[in-house]
Amino acid sequence: MQSTILFERPRFQPPRSTDVSAISVIEKKREGGSLTPEEIRFFVEGFTSGAIPDYQAAAFCMAVFLKGMSRRETADLTMSMAESGEMLDLSNVLGYVVDKHSSGGVGDKTSLVVLPLVVAAGVPVAKMSGRGLSYSGGTLDKLESISGFNVSLTTTQFIDQVQKIGIVLAGQTADLAPADAKFYALRDVTGTVPSKPLIASSIMSKKIAAGAQGIVLDVKCGLGAFMQTVEDARELAQIMVDIGKSHNRQVTALISDMNQPLGSAVGNALEVREAIATLQGQGPDDFVEHCVVVAGHMLRLAGKASAADISDVRPMLETRLKDGSAWEVFRKLVEAQGGDVSQIEHPEKLPIAPVIQDVVAPRSGYLSGIDAREIGLASVDLGAGRQKKGDPIDYAVGVMIHRKVGELVQAGEPLFTVHARTQQAADQARLRILAAHQWVDKIGLPIFYDVILDS
């Protein structure tokens, strides 16, 4: 009998700790293996120093995207990325350091209101923020629509300011979690952003490196978020809470809606105007509620509130928005960082687009959806965001949404306003934003779903 020789595909051999290489780490993850803390640290350090090139780091990100990581691996990746640069310790300056982070959204100007609000409630904050990416806006871009506002502070200036006035809001220094900046830039162009372990380690490494002891995470879910469903957002949130626990940080994760834009304004100066109105007690209801809840949980982590539903600090926070004290803190922040205070005192002095076009409802009905991602992309097309990293942005342009999901609107009523640089840009945005609105004639459940006849 003729024997059959079977050629087996060589099985992947995990590297011994002495012969870790970039390729062995990539191959191990590609095959679904579990990386040791040493292998993860080797890869992160190698990539940060430049010893491991972009193409291998891109392959690593794709392997993690496809095969995932355990909680332990994700916690190790977070710590290696946090320790890839300077680790800030603000505990001598602030006592307990409380921070917040949003996973990114459309119309999300929360930090502009929440930080002054928390400070007005007696807890100092020192926050590092980021720029907008794709359709999701960034706090630094919004602040820079105020002339002169300086987001590039040295670590010493950052610490001095929080010591002096109790609040500082600036860009992340190049030394803070540099591995994340490198990984994020690669992920953005290799289709590997929406990976739970990669998002969790990216966010948490920055917060840990910035010295946060208590962290409120605002995890967005819906059409305009990386996580489209509540289940996915909950899982991402739980991963980050666990990372916090394994590194001795207190983390509260809020899962918030990003199916429609937050508040009414989308676009940099427009959002600053809405933040100012909110700080003066005149914000849109959904945005005010969002800010009060985030601020309440920051106070809770800082030991200034005890109720899990923040009911014990809610009235005080609402008062701080109405009595001008949160607004006064924002004014001090702008002044301290070189911003033109007259522009925030008179928001009509903030950049204004040359073309402002009101758009009315094309029909009557209930609004059943306003696709946040489409609204974000329309404002990027208008120039409010970047097509790619480093592109200049137009602070004046964007959109004001006048009606929200669930409202009954009559044909001809104001629906939104486009703020554009040119008439052509306004016309394009109008069509895209109109198409992002979905309508139904009635809300509630139908009595019958269908009728099937026998012929």
* Residue 111 sits in the site that holds ligand URA (CB under 6 A): no
**Is 253 in a helix, a strand, or coil?**
strand
* Residue 199 sits in the site that holds ligand URA (CB under 6 A): yes
CB-based closest residue to ligand URA: 202
* Residue 276 sits in the site that holds ligand URA (CB under 6 A): no
How many residues at the interface with ligand URA, by CB under 6 A? 8
Measure the CA angle with vertex 263, ends 258 and 269; round to 5°: 110
Distance separating alpha carbons of residues 4 and 175, to the nearest angstrom:
60
* Residue 227 sits in the site that holds ligand URA (CB under 6 A): no
Span from 111-119, 196-204, 215-223, 263-271 in contact with ligand URA (CB under 6 A): 196-204
* Residue 203 sits in the site that holds ligand URA (CB under 6 A): yes
Span from 199-207, 336-344, 431-439, 440-448 in contact with ligand URA (CB under 6 A): 199-207
* Residue 192 sits in the site that holds ligand URA (CB under 6 A): no
234 flagged as catalytic: no
Residue 123 Cβ, how far from ligand URA at the closest point, in Å? 23
- Which residues have CB under 8 Å from 66's CB, separation 6+? 30
164 flagged as catalytic: no
* Residue 103 sits in the site that holds ligand URA (CB under 6 A): yes
Residue 230 Cβ, how far from ligand URA at the closest point, in Å? 18
The CA–CA distances, whole Å, from 178 to 31, 181, 402, 427 equal 28, 5, 40, 41
206 flagged as catalytic: yes
Instruction: Please give the backbone phi and psi of residue 212, each rounded to the nearest 5 degrees, phi first.
Output: -65, 135
180 flagged as catalytic: yes
Q: Looking at beta carbons only, is 203 or 409 nearer to ligand URA?
A: 203
* Residue 80 sits in the site that holds ligand URA (CB under 6 A): no
**What length does the chain have?**
455
- Which residues have CB under 8 Å from 406's CB, separation 6+? 366, 367, 443
Q: Which secondary structure element, helix H or strand E, spans residue 418, and what is its range? A: strand 414-420
Span from 60-68, 195-203, 327-335, 400-408 in contact with ligand URA (CB under 6 A): 195-203
Label residue 318 exposed, middle or buried (CB < 10 Å: 0-12, 13-18, 19+).
middle
Query: Which of 182, 173, 196 shows the shortest CA–CA distance to 65?
Result: 196
* Residue 213 sits in the site that holds ligand URA (CB under 6 A): no
Q: Which secondary structure element, helix H or strand E, spans residue 112, and what is its range? A: helix 110-120
Binding mask 169-188 for ligand URA (x = CB under 6 A): ---------------x----
101 flagged as catalytic: yes
Measure the CA angle with vertex 257, ends 255 and 263; round to 5°: 125
Contact residues for ligand URA, defined by CB under 6 A: 103-104, 184, 193, 198-199, 202-203
| Active site members | 101, 180, 187, 202, 206
